Structure 1
Amino acid sequence: MTTQQGHRRRPAVWALLAITLTAVLAGLTTGSAVADPAPSGGKLVLVLDSSGSMKEPAGDGQTKIAAARTALTQVVTKLPTAAEVGLRVYGATVFKRTQPGACTDTQLTVPIGTNNRPQLQAAIAKYKPYGETPIGYALQQAAKDLGPVGQRTIVLVSDGEATCAPDPCVVAQSIAKQGIDLKIDVVGFRVAGKARTQLQCVAREGRGDYYDADSTIDLEAGLDRLSTRAFRPFRISGTPVHGAAQQEGAPALAPGHYSDTFGADTTSKHYLIKRTMTGSTLRAGVSFRRPSGGSFVIQTEVRLNTLTGEQCGWSYPRAFDGDQGLATGTAASWSKYEKKNDECAESDQLVLTVNPGKDFRELKGVPYELRIDEEPPVDETTSLPAAAGDPVWVPMAGSTPREIVPGSSFPDAPLLQPGSYKTTLMPGELQLYKVKADWGQRIQAQITVPEMAGATAEAIDGIRYLDTALISPIGEDVYAVFAKKVPGGSYTKAVLTKRGLVKAVTSKEIRYLNRNGANNQDTGTSTPGEYYIAVSLTRKDDDKAFAIPLTLTVGLQGTAGTGKPTYVDGATPVSGDSITPTPTAEPSETPAGDKGGDKTEAGGPVQGSSDSDDGTPVVLVAGLGGGGLALLLVGVFAVLRLRAKPSPAPAAGNWQHGQHQYPPQYPNQGSPQQYPNQGGQPPYPNQGGQPPQQPPHR
């Protein structure tokens, strides 16, 4: 590998260690869009290999231990002083396995605490290679270091196989039983065969991530690149509640924000949702971390019923990409199909049910958020704009990008104003950003990744997919499927190679009558509020640690407040009222929506000069090939047909092979092969499913 002039080279494992440590530490923090994050109560212990093999050359004229000292020293200087961090080593004091204490040779050289950077630096300076590799015992002690509660992370770095009992994979399995807030991340340096399998097992059983490293990269550049990133653990917020196993005795909830936890079996959890105004529309959203490594087909059911059992709305969650991915499911009391006895619209209480389905083993003990909104009935709808049609992309002018700290879950997503932002994205990472949009507005978001060279270009290794999404305030997937002239095409996934890419996504304009649409892109854009932009990059099993630079440009098209409905008796929505954005940070240098000439810099307008007429890159079409493109067209045809014809609500148990391959609430029904990049799951589940009749005004 060629070394860039002016940079010193270090082993990839220590750059990876720096990346992992910086990432995890950022995971212990929260912050705003442009401010540095502040600590929020997590703990980390770094477990380092001090065995004799660390004396070996690192490939750049130094030993592994020398490179480790350099990398760790630089990381420590960048740690937030209030972050709780500790350092444990193993194999540091007993030379041979035949000597007493060799297989319990591990020490917490720096206890977990804050403001301990001098102690960490001093311990790093004394860090020397010496003895055996008691990984299992060291992990047991590290778990004790972290204590029994709170967000806890172990980062294990090893360049070989354990030489002592207990088996570290078995230990990791035992540690994982201490709770979902404890995980083990592992870095394996130039390991293969049984050693690699063992370390991968530790990460898998410890609910963490595993990375290989077998080459050198620019350590200093890597550290600088990732110094402000936020690779945060998925977080849940909301007032804790406990759903009941049956409708009787269920807790009564007013519209608001709550949290609960999945149980140990398939038993549903029930909640009573209290209306505060007659004839209002109730919306409920459930979100949680998608099981790591699991299918994108999640059979958890979210349902709203009347007290007498009449079904109002339901869905299976939509799964988003990323190793620490997101799943959201929604249900609403509104239906455009009038019923003879409209209990869903008039009942004082509705029943919200969350059932984990067949995935209950993976979801056992997993926390979830409940978001409940209430919108008053309107005076009339005749003067309101019709449901929004398919939008046409408006080129956005790029401004000077500002550094941004992304979130990985709803609670820590930074609020963005129109403009350009820059950050980096790692494989398997899910990033979330928040944008406020009002009546009459629609969101545009564009990702620009420049051409890459050197170690990053090599790490990409062929073709990957960058996935984008827009999510409504309640959790619906709302990207406009048939938007026109969208850079990179209107599909959510784009092919990423070392040449970089431009990928954009947009929503429909927010209008009240979108609620009568056939898909989430319609119903999800029927209220204003805080919408979310999701970005992720696919990861391969044998990935090295790397991060790609990207620019995110955000714009709002349309005039805020256009088409705002008048609610009965001047009532106000409990959530989702008019929220015309007021800038809280520096505004963009060029107004959002200004075409900005022919600029093509990062964040600027990009037209498909070498692409297809609709903006779809030629490389994407070529990558799909004839069969893939045909399948995509089949999916489009399915959406078109089902937009015109609603499906009846499915009976329980319809999710199976054979006649019902997908639950009928999905407007995009079809075979798993129709959506090869989503585990066979159609991208936008739709709620409800009532017989077609005339809609009431609500």
Structure 2
Amino acid sequence: MTTHQAHRRRPVVWALIAVTLAAVLGGLTAPAALADPAPSGGKLVLVLDSSGSMAEPAGDGHTKIAAARTALSSVVTKLPEAAEVGLRVYGATVFKRTQAGACTDTQLTVPIGTANRPQLQTAIAKYKPYGETPIGYALQQAAKDLGPVGQRTIVLVSDGEATCAPEPCAVARSIAQQGIDLKIDVVGFRVGGKARTQLQCVAREGRGDYYDADSTVDLEAGLGRLSTRAFRPFRISGTPVHGAPQQEGAPVLAPGHYSDTFGVDNTSKHYLIKRTMKGSTLRAGVSFRRPAGGSFVIQSEVRLNTLAGEQCGWSYPRGFDGDQGLATGTAASWSKYEKKNDECADSDQLVLTVNPGKNYLQLKGVPYELRVDEEPPVDSIANLPAAAADPVWTPMSGSTPREIVPGSSFPDAPLLQPGTYKTTLMPGELQLYRVKADWGQRIQAQMTVPEMAGAAADALDGIRYLDTALISPTGEDVFAIFAKNVPGGSYTKAVLTKRGLVKGLTTKEIRYLNRNGANNQDTGTSTPGEYYLAVSLTRKANDKAFTIPLNLTVGVVGTAGAGKPEYVDGATPVSGESVTPSPTETPSTTPSSTPSEPGDSGDKNQAGGPVQGRADSDDGTPVALVAGLGGGGVLLLLIGGLIVARLRKKPAAAQWPQSNNWGGPQGPR
């Protein structure tokens, strides 16, 4: 055997709302490392109901129109300065449907722009209830306001059913055909029955979110969060490429970061991956947003083959359990089985195939990312630590929480300094963060929701589920299923009630020989780099626009660099984030942005207070808490038949498909 073969209705305290909105919109002062990321160039148009029914009570001592003015004024104040925003109203100038122009009564009162906050506030102050409800026509005009390209969002606020043609749901469906970069979010203000059903349909067909609001506070919360999302939408990054329908003529890709789009049918897309080092391990990760309203069973496939058709590795991506769900999968060329002629390990090129699967219609035109990493073979495995055993949770002391703005896709997931952080989570929202970890380390993440009372407890409405994930740099599900002493149990899903919760999640220690394991918790922790933490709160059909408080404490346990392999000829791994090899620098492996001082042993606590307990890894490596927080996408994949067997008596853990990087299918867990 050669060496490379051995390798988350009623008013609440205004102060709390102000803090929540400020945190969400980045209005609070924060250290540079926590700075609110710049808007990603998207556009937002607020489409507001100015029909006569807005003069009705809002249920909290205000009229609907007064509530809308209050909420809108607060939200506009906290929008990022560089955000492009406009305001369109409907039903504002024609009183009766029998009058000419009633069903085309909509005006862009403030054109979309950045330096228009005074104009927005003036228009909001003049906003009055008056006429009919031409929702469909107003949506058509809003789509024109936004233009044909870029990330575009319509946020519709309505208190009733449309009184004019065209039918809003059909209009939303038509608008959605303009591309995945355009979506329609909806806040239904004290609506019910047919009106509510209609507005929900608008959001569903417009690939957006729907929330109910019964008060000024509800409306402010919903508008605040939806407006924030408009400028942090799910984004696909990477150099654009165009996969071929067959192997012949496929583009040749070096290790790097790319983007492409699913086609109109179930035809696969092919790419040739150029190996730059003989005997290296190639890993190809595919990630995309699971379309809203579609099946959780994506049935797409990512596969690596030799030019002759020999299968090297494959996986089935599947969406994370959330309305903002992602999907991801990773295939690798590595095989733990010895072969005389291993073309998967030695050939100059491999074929990467991405297939949308049987449910290809829901992926039609959906963009995806491709990340290709290449790791050199090692000189020897003789002195490398054995594959990591199931970890034991190390208690973490939290520090004073600092505000954090979460990411909504892999590219904008924040990488933070060590510590404890606080944010808010809305039902159906997916939040992503990044964490750096080195050889010899493992990631711990603890999510805490305090006990709730009043409006938050009422809105929670019984039991919810907090879904979590830890994801490898190339998209493998890496939470340690059988970790011991994990707060809330070693599963990815936790039950949330008004009493709150504490939920922990950890990986195995990162070791080279984890690649020989049977499951992603092993193979996904065989390289260092930036890992991702994903958090989502399940939603219900009758949800109000509410948020829950969430604290995150993240630590990296272990000695940085322990068990680092020596690569052949001093070669350096080439990742999709850093595509130029360097003979003197390793890829992102430092657990924080502060370099270690000479003499540092790594046996330090940098993640939020003293270590309350101490445990040793199975090879005797001392543990320490150092940290980096992160997130990034969310997508859990099926774990193998072995795991299924072990979890047969634990159905709560049987949730996701997990990829198989060594050549055969794995069953559900």
Please indicate, yes or no, whether the TM-score normalized by the shorter chain is above 0.5.
yes
Aligned to 1:688: 662
Aligned to 2:244: 244
Measured against aligned partners, the alpha-carbon deviations of 1:284-310 in whole angstroms (never above 9, x if no partner) come to 000000121333322101000000000
Aligned to 1:427: 427
Aligned to 1:157: 157
Q: How many angstroms does 1:673 deviate by?
A: 12
- Name the aligned partner's letter for residue 291 of structure 1: P
Q: Does 2:606 align with 1:591?
A: yes
Aligned to 2:169: 169
Aligned to 1:411: 411
Measured against aligned partners, the alpha-carbon deviations of 1:622-644 in whole angstroms (never above 9, x if no partner) come to xxxxxxxxxxxxxxxx979x44x
Q: How many angstroms does 1:354 deviate by?
A: 0.2
What TM-score do you get using the length of structure 1 for normalisation? 0.82
Aligned to 2:590: 581
Q: How does 1:627-642 map to 2 (within 5 A)?
A: 642=641
- Name the aligned partner's letter for residue 592 of structure 1: A
The CA distance in 1 between the partners of 2:10 and 2:460, in whole Å, is: 17
Aligned to 2:552: 552
Q: How does 1:350-499 map to 2 (within 5 A)?
A: 350-499=350-499
Going from structure 1 to structure 2, the CA distance change for 1:2 and 1:47 (only over 3 Å counts) comes to: closer
SS of 1:141's equivalent in the other structure is: helix
Going from structure 1 to structure 2, the CA distance change for 1:35 and 1:148 (only over 3 Å counts) comes to: same
Aligned to 1:213: 213
Going from structure 1 to structure 2, the CA distance change for 1:677 and 1:543 (only over 3 Å counts) comes to: farther
- Name the aligned partner's letter for residue 395 of structure 1: P
The CA distance in 2 between the partners of 1:265 and 1:310, in whole Å, is: 25
Q: How many angstroms does 1:223 deviate by?
A: 8.7
State the Cα RMSD in Å. Answer: 3.1
- Name the aligned partner's letter for residue 73 of structure 1: S
Q: How many angstroms does 1:373 deviate by?
A: 0.3
SS of 2:130's equivalent in the other structure is: coil
Going from structure 1 to structure 2, the CA distance change for 1:676 and 1:561 (only over 3 Å counts) comes to: closer
Q: Would the aligned equivalents of 1:95 and 1:131 in 2 still touch at CA under 8 Å?
A: yes
Measured against aligned partners, the alpha-carbon deviations of 1:555-601 in whole angstroms (never above 9, x if no partner) come to 011100000001111111112945442643899x9633865559xxx
Going from structure 1 to structure 2, the CA distance change for 1:440 and 1:381 (only over 3 Å counts) comes to: same
SS of 2:120's equivalent in the other structure is: helix
Aligned to 1:601: none
Q: How does 1:115-130 map to 2 (within 5 A)?
A: 115-130=115-130
Going from structure 1 to structure 2, the CA distance change for 1:343 and 1:374 (only over 3 Å counts) comes to: same
Aligned to 2:188: 188
SS of 1:62's equivalent in the other structure is: coil
The CA distance in 2 between the partners of 1:107 and 1:19, in whole Å, is: 31
The CA distance in 1 between the partners of 2:273 and 2:100, in whole Å, is: 64
Q: How many angstroms does 1:393 deviate by?
A: 0.3
The CA distance in 1 between the partners of 2:79 and 2:216, in whole Å, is: 24
Measured against aligned partners, the alpha-carbon deviations of 1:150-171 in whole angstroms (never above 9, x if no partner) come to 0001111111111111111111
Structure 1, unaligned stretches of length 5 or more?
10-14, 599-604, 606-637, 644-666, 692-698
SS of 2:566's equivalent in the other structure is: coil
| 334-343 vs 456-465, which moves further | 334-343
SS of 1:357's equivalent in the other structure is: coil
Q: How many angstroms does 1:320 deviate by?
A: 1.5
Aligned to 2:630: none
Q: How many angstroms does 1:215 deviate by?
A: 4.8
Measured against aligned partners, the alpha-carbon deviations of 1:252-281 in whole angstroms (never above 9, x if no partner) come to 000000000000000000000000011100
- Name the aligned partner's letter for residue 668 of structure 1: V
Aligned to 1:668: 644
Which protein has greater RCO, CA pairs closer than 8 Å, 6+ apart?
Answer: 2
Going from structure 1 to structure 2, the CA distance change for 1:428 and 1:175 (only over 3 Å counts) comes to: same
The CA distance in 2 between the partners of 1:507 and 1:270, in whole Å, is: 32
Aligned to 2:599: none
SS of 2:48's equivalent in the other structure is: strand
Q: Does 2:513 align with 1:522?
A: no
Q: Would the aligned equivalents of 1:155 and 1:185 in 2 still touch at CA under 8 Å?
A: yes
Q: Would the aligned equivalents of 1:281 and 1:334 in 2 still touch at CA under 8 Å?
A: yes
Q: How many angstroms does 1:194 deviate by?
A: 1.5
Q: How many angstroms does 1:232 deviate by?
A: 2.9
Q: What is the percent sequence identity of the aligned residues?
A: 80
Q: What is the total number of aligned residue pairs between the two structures?
A: 614
Going from structure 1 to structure 2, the CA distance change for 1:225 and 1:400 (only over 3 Å counts) comes to: farther
Going from structure 1 to structure 2, the CA distance change for 1:73 and 1:216 (only over 3 Å counts) comes to: closer
Q: How many angstroms does 1:73 deviate by?
A: 1.2
Going from structure 1 to structure 2, the CA distance change for 1:510 and 1:233 (only over 3 Å counts) comes to: same
- Name the aligned partner's letter for residue 90 of structure 1: Y
Q: How many angstroms does 1:222 deviate by?
A: 8.7
Going from structure 1 to structure 2, the CA distance change for 1:139 and 1:546 (only over 3 Å counts) comes to: same
Aligned to 2:600: none
Measured against aligned partners, the alpha-carbon deviations of 1:311-340 in whole angstroms (never above 9, x if no partner) come to 000010142122111111110000001223
Q: Would the aligned equivalents of 1:264 and 1:364 in 2 still touch at CA under 8 Å?
A: yes
Q: Would the aligned equivalents of 1:22 and 1:226 in 2 still touch at CA under 8 Å?
A: no
Q: Would the aligned equivalents of 2:430 and 2:537 in 1 still touch at CA under 8 Å?
A: yes
Q: How does 1:279-298 map to 2 (within 5 A)?
A: 279-298=279-298
The CA distance in 1 between the partners of 2:255 and 2:176, in whole Å, is: 35
SS of 2:359's equivalent in the other structure is: helix
Q: How many angstroms does 1:685 deviate by?
A: 2.9
- Name the aligned partner's letter for residue 115 of structure 2: N
Q: How many angstroms does 1:199 deviate by?
A: 1.0
The CA distance in 2 between the partners of 1:288 and 1:22, in whole Å, is: 27
Q: Does 2:86 align with 1:53?
A: no
Aligned to 1:66: 66
Aligned to 1:624: none
Going from structure 1 to structure 2, the CA distance change for 1:549 and 1:361 (only over 3 Å counts) comes to: same
Q: Would the aligned equivalents of 1:317 and 1:329 in 2 still touch at CA under 8 Å?
A: yes
Going from structure 1 to structure 2, the CA distance change for 1:582 and 1:391 (only over 3 Å counts) comes to: closer
SS of 2:34's equivalent in the other structure is: coil
The CA distance in 2 between the partners of 1:20 and 1:173, in whole Å, is: 31
The CA distance in 1 between the partners of 2:93 and 2:219, in whole Å, is: 29
- Name the aligned partner's letter for residue 494 of structure 1: A
SS of 2:234's equivalent in the other structure is: coil
Aligned to 1:531: 531
The CA distance in 1 between the partners of 2:186 and 2:559, in whole Å, is: 50
Q: Would the aligned equivalents of 1:7 and 1:220 in 2 still touch at CA under 8 Å?
A: no
Q: Would the aligned equivalents of 1:440 and 1:560 in 2 still touch at CA under 8 Å?
A: yes
SS of 2:382's equivalent in the other structure is: coil
Going from structure 1 to structure 2, the CA distance change for 1:131 and 1:78 (only over 3 Å counts) comes to: same
The CA distance in 2 between the partners of 1:545 and 1:282, in whole Å, is: 44
Measured against aligned partners, the alpha-carbon deviations of 1:474-512 in whole angstroms (never above 9, x if no partner) come to 100000000000000001111000100000000000000
Aligned to 1:35: 35
Q: Would the aligned equivalents of 1:22 and 1:75 in 2 still touch at CA under 8 Å?
A: no
- Name the aligned partner's letter for residue 303 of structure 1: R
- Name the aligned partner's letter for residue 144 of structure 2: K
The CA distance in 2 between the partners of 1:379 and 1:72, in whole Å, is: 63
SS of 2:288's equivalent in the other structure is: strand
Q: How many angstroms does 1:77 deviate by?
A: 1.3
The CA distance in 1 between the partners of 2:350 and 2:128, in whole Å, is: 64
The CA distance in 1 between the partners of 2:382 and 2:76, in whole Å, is: 63
Q: How many angstroms does 1:382 deviate by?
A: 1.1
The CA distance in 1 between the partners of 2:222 and 2:310, in whole Å, is: 57
The CA distance in 1 between the partners of 2:104 and 2:22, in whole Å, is: 25
Aligned to 2:344: 344
Q: Would the aligned equivalents of 2:432 and 2:535 in 1 still touch at CA under 8 Å?
A: yes
Measured against aligned partners, the alpha-carbon deviations of 1:47-70 in whole angstroms (never above 9, x if no partner) come to 000001111122233221112112
Q: How does 1:97-136 map to 2 (within 5 A)?
A: 97-136=97-136
Going from structure 1 to structure 2, the CA distance change for 1:295 and 1:229 (only over 3 Å counts) comes to: closer
Measured against aligned partners, the alpha-carbon deviations of 1:636-678 in whole angstroms (never above 9, x if no partner) come to xx979x44xxxxxxxxxxxxxxxxxxxxxxx538999986787
Going from structure 1 to structure 2, the CA distance change for 1:671 and 1:363 (only over 3 Å counts) comes to: farther
SS of 2:481's equivalent in the other structure is: coil
